[in-house]
Structure 1
Amino acid sequence: MRRRKRGTAVAAITLTSLMVLSACAKDSGGVVAGATGVAGAACEFATPPSPPATPSAGAGEQAADGDRVDGSALKIGLAFDIGGRGDASFNDLAAAGFDRAIADLGIKEENTREVSAAPNEDESVKRSRLRQLAREGFNPIIGVGFAYTESLKVVAPEFPDVRFGLVDSAVEGAANVTPLVFAEQEGAFLAGVVAAYQSRKCHVGFVGGVDIPLIRKFEAGYAQGARAAAPKVVVERKYLTPATDFTGFQDPAKGLETAKGLIDKGADVLYPAAGASGIGVFSAVKQAGVLAIGCDADQYHQPALADTRDVIVASSLKRVDVAVYDFVRAAARNDLASLPKVFDLKANGVGYATSGGRVDAKLQGIVEGFKAEIIAGRIEVADKP
């Protein structure tokens, strides 16, 4: 275990530290079922919803402006997934929320602790890590990623008075485990809208890392958003590995080759939900002179992608920072029931970024129009392809 270090400066990132860049990856490829269109043809766009008078604000942003909450009595622990602080995406988003909670709620430095998972570690190691935090009086404790699900099934009942938060998963029947889950498909929908408008061929692609339900949510939203913008758009998709093989999140070479295959089929805007394998996707996109959409974090600003960031026209956002902050804040208020059941667009749990300057005001307005429709419930985004 180690004490958390002040600041969020990100060191040079290796491929190992990027293993869990995001949950953002089926073995089979080809055109998504139901897609139509002619590769190479310009898109014919559907009439988009009107943009709202003012950009929509999520509940997570508004909560920060509420009554002052005193968390000085808390001892909080954060159990990172593989890569830990410094991965420039999934874990760093959790770290940002952790840091913000500490600063805003007056939590003492000596009452904070960070621990990290190791690659291929046994489940017993995760359990020991969580038990040690609980025995040392840390409460609440946050597990970053579904990798902690099985361990919490065992550990949470042993410490019924400890409040656990679990990012990306839930533990059925454990009243002291709060699921911090997201409507990833809603952010991916907005990514699909941008992709359709940026495509010159009306032909876009999705690269998934591992064929699991979490990643299918990204595919489903992306395809639906692209088709909402341009009904005849062609959507290619390819997963790197099946559900039993998580190397799909850490194989940039395979990501590169897979992306080349989709580009060869005609896709000219690619959206990788593939962890570190996305590095290879962005490289292929750069080599081919086409475009890409980032995933989870604003990937235009990631140091590891500095050489390819000019191809990233937008990113879908998964606000793990908001979920972690809101969970700690609610724990300080002893009001975990106030948290949203799902961190969606309305709760500011997902969203999008347009760093890089390629998305003009007109397209920004179109995306905001779709976002407002989703928040209002007039568009329901599917979570399965």
Structure 2
Amino acid sequence: MKRILTIFSVILALMFIVACGNKPATADQVKDGKTSTDSTNSNKSVAVVYSTGGKGDKSFNDSTFRGLEKAKKELGITYSEYEPKDPNSEAKDALTRFAEEGQYDLIIAVGYTMQDAVTAVADAFPEQKFAIIDSVVNGKPNVASITFKEEEGSFLVGALAAMMDKTGTIGFVGADNSDLIAKFFAGYAQGARYVKPDIKVIPVTIGGTSAFNDQASAKAKTETLIQQGADVVYHAAGASGLGVFQAVKEKNIYGIGVDSNQDGLYPGNILTSMMKYVDNAVFDEIKTTLNGKFAAKVQTYGIKEDGIGTTNFEFTKDKIGEENIKKLEQIKQDIKSGKIVVKPKI
């Protein structure tokens, strides 16, 4: 009898060891066109396909990532990521693979270049909820569109650029000639001319197949602007903006960041950054979806909605001066109240 009990105990012990060995999968983070999964014990899942440059761009994608991390911490979600080398060619396949898995409460597409891909995949998977950032997909009951009034934040930094300008010329580096980038330039030029009507605002475009991730070209374009007299340069070019800042630092003029807080990259040379709170928008959309209130509508974030703004001038407050900061705050309030209306095109 004792022998039988001993054998039975050994069998139970082996079963316990095997059971303990079946642990949940750990995170598998892979870049450059591969999927990574952040796994915890939760049934609430979100997937995201990033834009050009992926995480680490210090800009648009990083802001999206912060929104996911906030949702993970506060809402208990898990999320899967895809960082494409070329969103134009990879987006549809990446979105389709996530949709086929059928486990995600929401799939997020980052960037206007994915509009066609989202439209096609949303048609193929009508029960799957999607959200696209920086573009509008109309007529799809399973797609939420998130847009921003970039022109309003750009108006603020344009006004600041004019306040700090000494040469009568400022510059703008845009990734491409899209309608989205045109909004950044339109606001920047209007803000500068609001403060200094005769100021010269020179725009240049990076272009090419890697417009948002071409630091060398961005640096060269910025150097051309500086040669033409620009002493403040604002960029709307994603990871390419790092090249803008290199030129700004070398020539010791002012730069202005975009989307995320880039002030600390070159403290003192970067006046401020036009903050586009993609992180807040991503978090809000995830929370709304999990609460069963997903809506296929366009949600637009501007200054009034606390979706756009500037940094707090951590490294340049003394250079800008209290008087200029007060002027900028008044301009912000005038935009918020509707006293100043910023046009998305000029």
Q: What is the aligned partner in structure 2 of residue 200 from structure 1?
A: 166
**In structure 2, which of residues 225, 230, 242 is the aligned counterpart of residue 262 of structure 1?**
225
Q: What is the aligned partner in structure 2 of residue 131 from structure 1?
A: 96
Q: Considering Cα pairs closer than 8 Å and 6+ residues apart, tell me whether 1 or 2 has the greater RCO.
A: 1
- 252-261 or 163-172, which deviates more: 252-261
**Runs of 4+ with deviation above 4 angstroms:** 2-6, 337-340
Q: What is the aligned partner in structure 2 of residue 43 from structure 1?
A: none
SS in 1 for 2:119: helix
Alignment pair present for 1:345 and 2:265:
no
Q: What is the aligned partner in structure 2 of residue 145 from structure 1?
A: 111
Alignment pair present for 1:380 and 2:341:
yes
CA distance in 1, matches of 2:154, 2:231: 17
Question: Does structure 2 retain, via aligned residues, the 8 Å contact 1:205–1:267?
Answer: yes
Q: What is the aligned partner in structure 1 of residue 192 from structure 2?
A: 226
Question: Does structure 1 retain, via aligned residues, the 8 Å contact 2:53–2:212?
Answer: no
Count of aligned pairs: 309
Alpha-carbon displacement from aligned partner over 1:168-212 (angstroms, at most 9, x marks no partner): 112222121111111111111111011011112232111112111
CA distance in 2, matches of 1:217, 1:152: 23
SS in 1 for 2:204: strand
| Aligned residue type for 1:285 | V
Identify if the C-alpha distance between structure 1 residues 377 and 246 changes in structure 2 by more than 3 Å, giving closer, same or farther: farther
**Percent identity between the two aligned chains:** 34
CA distance in 2, matches of 1:291, 1:86: 23
| Aligned residue type for 1:377 | G
| Aligned residue type for 1:273 | A
**In structure 1, which of residues 355, 359, 367 is the aligned counterpart of residue 314 of structure 2?**
355
CA distance in 2, matches of 1:3, 1:151: 30
Identify if the C-alpha distance between structure 1 residues 317 and 121 changes in structure 2 by more than 3 Å, giving closer, same or farther: closer
Q: What is the aligned partner in structure 2 of residue 368 from structure 1?
A: 329
| Aligned residue type for 1:317 | M
The alpha-carbon deviation at position 325 of structure 1 amounts to 0.6
Alignment pair present for 1:294 and 2:252:
no
SS in 2 for 1:247: coil
**In structure 2, which of residues 120, 124, 140 is the aligned counterpart of residue 174 of structure 1?**
140
The alpha-carbon deviation at position 327 of structure 1 amounts to 0.4
Q: What is the aligned partner in structure 1 of residue 69 from structure 2?
A: 99
The alpha-carbon deviation at position 73 of structure 1 amounts to 5.5
Identify if the C-alpha distance between structure 1 residues 347 and 181 changes in structure 2 by more than 3 Å, giving closer, same or farther: same
How do 1:238-277 and structure 2 match up within 5 A?
238-241=204-207, 245-277=208-240
CA distance in 1, matches of 2:337, 2:293: 26
RMSD, aligned CA: 2.6
Question: Does structure 1 retain, via aligned residues, the 8 Å contact 2:87–2:114?
Answer: no
Question: Does structure 1 retain, via aligned residues, the 8 Å contact 2:268–2:315?
Answer: yes
The alpha-carbon deviation at position 3 of structure 1 amounts to 7.1
How do 1:43-122 and structure 2 match up within 5 A?
74-107=44-77, 112-120=78-86
CA distance in 1, matches of 2:213, 2:133: 20
Per residue, is there more helix in 1 or in 2?
2
**In structure 2, which of residues 267, 283, 293 is the aligned counterpart of residue 335 of structure 1?**
293
Q: TM-score, normalised by structure 1?
A: 0.74
The alpha-carbon deviation at position 337 of structure 1 amounts to 4.3
CA distance in 2, matches of 1:374, 1:5: 44
The alpha-carbon deviation at position 122 of structure 1 amounts to 6.7
SS in 1 for 2:203: strand
SS in 2 for 1:221: helix
The alpha-carbon deviation at position 297 of structure 1 amounts to 1.0
The alpha-carbon deviation at position 141 of structure 1 amounts to 1.3
Q: What is the aligned partner in structure 1 of residue 17 from structure 2?
A: none
CA distance in 1, matches of 2:125, 2:329: 44
SS in 2 for 1:341: strand
Question: Does structure 2 retain, via aligned residues, the 8 Å contact 1:80–1:114?
Answer: no
CA distance in 2, matches of 1:260, 1:380: 33
Alpha-carbon displacement from aligned partner over 1:30-88 (angstroms, at most 9, x marks no partner): xxxxxxxxxxxxxxxxxxxxxxxxxxxxxxxxxxxxxxxxxx75322222223433332
SS in 2 for 1:250: coil
**Which protein is bigger by CA-based radius of gyration?**
2
Structure 1 gap segments, 5+ residues each: 7-13, 18-71
Question: Does structure 1 retain, via aligned residues, the 8 Å contact 2:135–2:145?
Answer: yes
Q: TM-score, normalised by structure 2?
A: 0.82
The alpha-carbon deviation at position 340 of structure 1 amounts to 6.7
The alpha-carbon deviation at position 4 of structure 1 amounts to 5.7
- 211-220 or 136-145, which deviates more: 136-145
